[in-house]
Amino acid sequence: MVKKTLFVAFVFFVSYAIFVQFFAPTWWCASQNLWQENLVKAQAYIYNKDFSKKNIIIGSSLSERIVMDSLPHTINLAFGGLGVHDGLNILLHKEDLPSVILIEMNYVLRAENSEFNAVINNPFLELPRKNIVALREEKQPVAIFGKLLNEIKLRLQNKSRSIDENSSLGEDVFSKLLQNQVVEYSEVPDSLFVEKTFENMKSILQFFESKGVKIVFFELPTNPELEQLPRAVAIRTKFYQVFPTNRYFYVNLNSEMIFKTTDGVHLSRSESIVYTEYFKSQLTHINL
Amino acid sequence: MLFTSFVFLGLVLITFLLYYIPYFSKHQSLILIISSLIFYAYNQPVLVLLLLLSVSINIVSSFYVTYGVDRYKKLFAILGVGLNLSILIFFKYSPLVAHTFFKETSSFGEFLLTMPLPIGISFFTFQGISLVVDVYSEKYFKNTEIVPCSFGRHAERILFFKGFFPQLISGPIVKAHDFMPQICVKYVGDIQWEVVVKNLIIGYFLKMVVADNLKDYTFWISYPYFQSSSTLNLVAMLWGYSCQIFADFAGYSLIAIGLAKLFGYNFPANFNFPYISTSFKDFWKRWHISLSSFLMEYLYIPLGGSKKGKIRTYINLMLVMFLGGLWHGAAWSYAVWGTIHGFALATERFFYEKTSFKETRFILFLKGIFVFSFVSLAWLLFKLPNFEHVVGYVRSMANNFDIKPDTMPLIYILLYTLPVAIYHILYLLKERIVYKQLAPYDYIVYAFMLFLISVNSGSAGAFIYFQF
């Protein structure tokens, strides 16, 4: 029984690996959830040689909503639930460096996720994943099967694939979520932690700058109630202190533009389009 | 060190190779002891000292219970159990005591909060207690059969019993009378490879494919995320969490059983298809069997069990389950969880004594649904230690009908919980002819599970029961 099991498992694996490598259609990929989406995005960046000398956006789920169609030569390496430091960690481990790193300011205090980094930088799986595509996150068969089921369901319901990202949650729920954000933003961040975070980031960015990489910072708009609360102000102030405006380019908030969010911090799809246009127009000042 | 890490696989391979070399056969226990200490020390080396302290207490107390002066034997037994419990209480419950009884600014409270929580302490402490009690009571063996007269040899055996890495940090809680008689030289030719491989494949599949994938969906049970989820998604996540906690823990236990078997040792089964239970009594005979049997043997029965009248029986049930709940974690939510189960057991016993009716298949089915629903809702206390959040979750389930369900998580939760459902259904069908006809082809199923382990594992998460 043991030998039969091992042999049949080997046959399953080799068959799937060959299929994925040589015969799978382009749609044969899926990410099941936010965590896996992040892993797929990270692995696509790490294992793809074509991404060198590009502009890279790093940040959190706020930056993920930037509409990339209108930003050529730019890759969005922002991760939902993660942050700037996870993005920096990936950039550090790739040999080819980008031309420009566009860094989100809003959630800069979110610490690096050690579990994410352990998966991405697993030394035992790095080489196998590089060479055997079937071992990458986006090729998980159950994930793809789930995606197919969803496609069938949507076709039966005669609906399009995209989620209505402008759909509102309802006033009550929105108020609760905004209130949660107000509580979080009202807290003054621990000064030692802020100091350490920026010190660490500065040393990493100095390394990139020494290799000719340009650094740009940007702050995404949130609900107006949050923008002048202690946390947002503390982060902004620290950025200007450590990375002065006479040396670094900032895509700042435009006080004349008020954006609607779905939950206090995330832009809806339509607002993301408007913001991306503004973002793009600001970047033309530095010829990006 | 996680069972699912490459470092662990390397450790097992090296240990296995050394263990079965004939030249080292007399030192097999020592080889496993060294591997176990490396395993335990991997993340927090300093806590090995605590493990060694705990082992030392058991070595000394069990030795002197056996060979000490007769009139002091009971004292040694009481000291052994007491010191075991003291270590557990001090390291595990200090933060709870600090939060409950001391002000935030109190220096003693702050000191208590700094106590580290050694991984596996709940498990190896209970094993130590079983050793001391079994040696004192001589219920299963004459203690001189188990405790050699050489203190050094005895110390090695006890360090091996308590420190054996498959069960060291998350069980099963192996009792001394089950394990100690097995200690002898093992031979590679005696390995039951089919049993080893089956346990390891099912264990790793449940852990890496089912539990590690489900955790990415049940993450959204946490506060405040559940507030914006639809009722359907909230119910699905709860179902998913029930399956996840089973897959995680049962998976770990099966891996432990398979690994122990690899080295020639038999561990008792820790799960017996608990979600087919049609009563709470049945559930606790199927879920975390090693804990419930430990509590039964070393707490419930010594308290009088069901022999001291009805009221005392209900009190004993509630007390044992309260303490069993608290064993799971240093938070009142776990005590509440245990008490809820104790209340369910007591109430069930009360009704069974008062009523009797024919249990048709339909009635059994309804009872099964009820028990599963109750157990699943109770798991919320594990996932949301803050009781307000548990209430909030239930309230959101009742109120969020107008939020549109997110279909993709529903699909994936159903896909990943399907193996747990199939696992239980196959158990129910095992006497059927179709099952017996297909049984010779089970290697295809195991092969498929092994394939999915290689290409469809979720990201490694610590075993849920590590926190206990």
pLDDT tier at A164, thresholds 50, 70, 90 = very low
User: Is there a contact between B251 and B212 (Cβ–Cβ < 8 Å)?
Assistant: no
Q: Does the structure show a pLDDT above 80 at B103?
A: no
- Kindly report which listed range (A130-144, B143-157, B275-289, B353-367) carries the lowest average pLDDT score: B353-367
A81 Cα to chain B: minimum distance (Å): 12
User: Is there a contact between B186 and B263 (Cβ–Cβ < 8 Å)?
Assistant: yes
B104 Cα to chain A: minimum distance (Å): 18
Nearest to B341 by CA among B272, B291, B394: B291
List active site positions of B. 328
Nearest to B20 by CA among B31, B6, B5, B35: B31
> Phi, psi at residue A104, to the nearest 5°?
-70, 140
**A39 interaction partners in chain B (CB closer than 8 Å):** 459
Residue % of chain A over a pLDDT of 90: 62
Q: Does the structure show a pLDDT above 70 at B463?
A: no
Residue % of chain A over a pLDDT of 70: 94
User: Is there a contact between B187 and B19 (Cβ–Cβ < 8 Å)?
Assistant: no
- As a whole number, mean pLDDT of residues A30-41 equals 89
The model's pTM is: 0.88
**B412 interaction partners in chain A (CB closer than 8 Å):** 32-33, 142-143, 146
At A108, which amino acid appears? V
Q: Does the structure show a pLDDT above 80 at B169?
A: yes
Long-range contacts of B312-321 (CB under 8 A, 24+ apart): B313/B346, B313/B349, B314/B346, B314/B349, B314/B350, B317/B342, B317/B345, B317/B346, B317/B349, B318/B342, B318/B343, B318/B346, B320/B295, B320/B296, B321/B345
Subunit contact A5:B415, Cβ cutoff 8 A: no
Long-range contacts of B112-117 (CB under 8 A, 24+ apart): B115/B90, B115/B91, B116/B44, B116/B47, B116/B91, B117/B91, B117/B92, B117/B330
pLDDT tier at B146, thresholds 50, 70, 90 = confident
- As a whole number, mean pLDDT of residues A135-143 equals 94
pLDDT tier at B354, thresholds 50, 70, 90 = confident
Q: What is the pLDDT of residue A166?
A: 46
Subunit contact B402:A170, Cβ cutoff 8 A: yes
Q: What is the pLDDT of residue A86?
A: 95
Tell whether A240 is within 8 A of chain B (Cβ). no
Subunit contact A36:B216, Cβ cutoff 8 A: yes
**A165 interaction partners in chain B (CB closer than 8 Å):** none
E strand or H helix at A251, and its extent?
strand A249-251
Q: What is the pLDDT of residue B430?
A: 86
User: Residue length, chain B?
Assistant: 468
Instruction: Write the DSSP symbol of residue B27.
Output: G
**B411 interaction partners in chain A (CB closer than 8 Å):** 146, 149-150, 153
pLDDT digits (tens, 9 = 90+) for B10-47: 999 999 999 999 999 999 999 999 999 999 999 788 88
Give which of B229, B455, B457 to mutate to test A binding, by max A Cβ within 10 Å.
B455
Tell whether A169 is within 8 A of chain B (Cβ). yes
Q: How far apart are CA B191 and CA B196, in angstroms?
A: 8
pLDDT digits (tens, 9 = 90+) for B36-90: 999 999 978 888 998 999 999 999 999 999 999 989 999 999 999 999 999 998 8
Q: What is the pLDDT of residue B57?
A: 94
pLDDT digits (tens, 9 = 90+) for B217-257: 998 999 888 988 999 999 999 999 999 999 999 999 999 99
Q: What is the pLDDT of residue A169?
A: 60
